[in-house]
A = this chain, B = another copy of it.
Amino acid sequence: MARFRFAASAALVALSFHASQAMADEGMWTFDAFPTARMQQDHGWAPDARWLGRVQAAAVRLTGGCSASFVSPEGLILTNHHCIVECAQDNSTDQRDLLKDGFVPARREEELKCPGQQAEVVTAISDVTTRVKAAIGTSMGEALVKARDAEVARIEKEGCRNASIKRCEVVTLFGGGQYKLYTYRKYSDVRLAWAPQFQAAFFGGDPDNFNYPRYALDAAFLRAYENGRPVRTPAHLAWSSRGPKVGEATFVVGNPGSTQRLFTSDQIAFQREVGLPLTTTILSELRGRMISAMDKSPQQKREGADELFGIENSLKVYIGRQRALNDPVFLKMLSDAEADLKAKAMGKPGIGDPWADTAKAVQAYRDIYVPWRFIVPRSALMEQAMTLVQGAAEREKPNADRLPEFRDSNLELTTKTLLDEAPVYPWMEQLELEWSLSKAREYLGADDPDTRLLLGKDSPEALAERLVGGTSLADAAARKALWEGGSAVIAASTDPMIVYARRIEARERELKKLVDERYAGPLAQAGARLADARFMAYGNSVYPDATFTLRISYGKVQGWKERGQDVSPVTTIGGAFDRATGAEPFNLASGFAQSEAKIDKTLPFDFVTTNDIIGGNSGSPVIDREGSVIGAAFDGNVHSIGGNYGYQGDVNRTVVVSTAAITHALAVIYPAPALLKELGVQ
C-alpha cells in the first residue's frame, strides 16, 4: 500500500513556497487556475470548465489526511484501505479482527462508524488576499502572525454561520502571495462500507512501500451519513471497470499535503543539515522500540500495527528526502532554479532581497528548533491534555485572538477529535512518552532548563509510567467533563496528565512566540515577496505549493526507466501469485488464495502514471478523459519522494490501484453484489 496520506503533525516545516515554471505534467493546480492551454499543447486535449466543475463536486477530503471521491448517488466514497486502517482497528475486537479478515457487511445497517473521521467537499472558493494583506499592513514578526491570524479567524467565522454542516478555511497559497477562503460541506458521520483483508491491501508491506511494480488492493469504501441515513450525492464520479490504457490521459484530483518546492537554498540547507538528520535518527529509534514492543504479544502486535506503519511510512519519506538533498545533481537542479529566479526578480521594486530575509529567519530558527521540537512529548493522551489545557484558556478569548485550532471555524472539529471515543493503548502511550522525553534530554542536554522542566528529578521511564498510569483521559467522559468545565475545572484538576500539561504550557507558548517573531513572521513577509518575484518572472505558469487543499494534476499512464531497465506501467492480478513467497509481508491474503480458481489473473492490478502528487493524495480518484474513475492513487514510486522539493518528469510516478481490480475483488474475492450494483456494474 504505502501510507501516501498526509500527516500534518509529522511535517518538518509546514511553511511553503511555490514552484518556478512548471515542466510537462508537473503541477498540483488549483481548479480556478487549471493550465488548459498547456495541457492542450502537451496532450492535444484539455478539459473544459464544465468537466472541471463536475469532477470538483465529487472530490472528498478526509480529515484523517486522505483524499477520496463520491462514486454513487448514495454517499458511497472510494478511498485507500490504508486510509481506513485506523477505523477498522477501532472497530476490531478480540473476536473480530477487521484487518485480518476484511469487512464485507451483508447490509447497509451493518456499516461501521469511523471515530474521528469526517468527509468534506469544497462548495466555494473565494479570493480574500486583499483583506488579509490589508490587515497585515506593515506589521512584522509575531505581530504579523497575530494580525494575519485574527483576520483569518474573522473571515472564517463570517463565512460559516452554520458550523454543524459547513467548514470555512482560509488557505495561504504561494507562501503568503495569496489567501483564499475555502468553504466545505462537511459530513461528520462516516462509516466503513467495505474493506479487503489488510494483507491484500498491504501486500509487500513496508519493503514495497514507495516501490513498484506493486500488487496491492489498497482500496476501501466508506459512506457518508447524515441523521442516520446515507447522504444523497448526485454529484459523483462514474465508475469504470475497464483497465488503464498505456498512454491515456489521467487526472488525479485530491489534496496533496505539503511540498517545499521553492524553498530557498537556506531553507534547503536547514533541512539537510539539521532537520532531516535529527528526524531520521530519532524516528528510527521509535520504529525499533515499536517493533520489539509489538513482539511481546499478539495483542500488542495488532494494537501497534497502524502506528508502526505510520512511523515507517514517514521514515521512508524522510530518508528519501535526505537522500535527495544529499544528491549533488538534485541539489544543483534546485540551486539553478533559484539562480534563474534571482536573476529575473531580485532587487526589483517591491521585491528587494527576500532571500536574505529568509536566510536570517532560518538562522534564528536553528537556535529555537530543538526546544520547540521537543517541548510537547509525543503521545495521544498528552495531545489531548494539551488541547484541554490550552483550549480552556483560548476559548475565553475573543475568536480573532485564539490559536487557529480553537477558532470558531475549527472548534467543532477540534471538539469532535477530542471527544470521539477511540481506544487508547497504555503500553504505546508509555513507550512514546519514554522515547520523546529521552530524546528531548539527549538533544537538549541533561542540564538544560527545558530538560529540567520536562523531567524534573524523574527518569523518562518513571515519569511516563506515572502519567499514563494515573490519568483518566483515556475515558471520553472524563475528557468531556474537563472540556466543558473550562478553566476553573482544568486549574483544579489533579489528573497527572493535566497537571503536566499545565507545567509545560507556558514554555510552549513562549517558544511559539519566539518562532512567530523570529521565523514564521519574517518568512510570511519574505514569502509574499518571493511569490511576487515568481509572478513577475513566470506569470501564471506557476502553481502554489501543496497545502492539503483541493488540486488537480494531469498526466498519463506511463512506465519509466530504472537503471537502464524499462519498468512496465501495468501489473496483473496474476503477478501477486507469482511474487508471493509465503512469508510476511509477501504472503498472499487468504481471500486471494482461496478464490484462486475464480480469479482472472490477466486483469490489471496496479498501474503508474506521470501525475504529480504527494502525501495527502492517498485515495484520490484517478480519472479518465470521460470523467470516469479508473483507479485510486495510493502511493508514489521512490522518485516521487524527492518530489517534495522538485518534480522529475522522467522518473516521478504515481502508483494507482485500478478499478478493474477493485471490481473483480467485489465480484469474486470479497464479494459485495450490492456495492457492484450501486456502482452500476453489470
- Chain A interface (Cβ within 8 Å of chain B)? 204, 206-208, 211, 272-274, 277, 280-282, 284-293, 295-296, 319, 322-323, 326-328, 431, 435, 441-442, 445-446, 457-459, 461-462, 581-586
Contacts and interface: CB of A to CB of B under 8 A. Distances in A.
Nearest to A585: B459
Nearest to A272: B326
Contacts of A273: 326-328
A284 B288 contact: yes
30 contacts: A207-B441, A207-B442, A208-B446, A273-B327, A273-B328, A274-B326, A277-B319, A277-B322, A277-B323, A280-B284, A281-B319, A284-B284, A284-B288, A285-B285, A285-B291, A287-B288, A288-B288, A288-B291, A288-B435, A289-B289, A289-B292, A292-B292, A296-B296, A457-B583, A458-B583, A459-B583, A459-B584, A459-B585, A459-B586, A461-B584
A284 B282 CA distance: 7
A459 B291 CA distance: 15
A533 to B, nearest CB: 26
Contacts of A291: 285, 288-289, 292
Contact of A286 (B207, B281, B288): B288
A291 B293 CA distance: 9
Given A211-B445, A277-B280, A457-B583, 10 more contacts: A207-B442, A207-B445, A207-B446, A208-B446, A277-B322, A277-B326, A284-B288, A285-B287, A289-B292, A461-B584
A633 B582 CA distance: 53
Contacts of A583: 457-459, 462
Contacts of A280: 277, 280-281, 284
Nearest to A457: B581
Contact of A281 (B281, B289, B462): B281
A586 B462 CA distance: 13
Given A280-B280, A288-B287, A462-B583, A446 B204 contact: yes
Contacts of A204: 446
A582 B292 CA distance: 28
A526 B581 CA distance: 46
Contacts of A584: 459, 461
A432 to B, nearest CB: 11
**Best-surrounded residue of A284, A292, A326, A431 (most CB of chain B within 10 A):** A292
Which 4 residue pairs of A and B lie closest in terms of their CB atoms, listed nearest first? Answer: A288-B288, A292-B292, A284-B284, A459-B583
A31 B289 CA distance: 46
Nearest to A325: B273
Contacts of A285: 284-285, 287-288, 291
Nearest to A438: B207
Nearest to A269: B328
A322 B274 CA distance: 10
A447 B504 CA distance: 48
A570 to B, nearest CB: 18
Contacts of A211: 445-446
Nearest to A462: B583
A292 B438 CA distance: 13
Contacts of A462: 583
Nearest to A289: B288
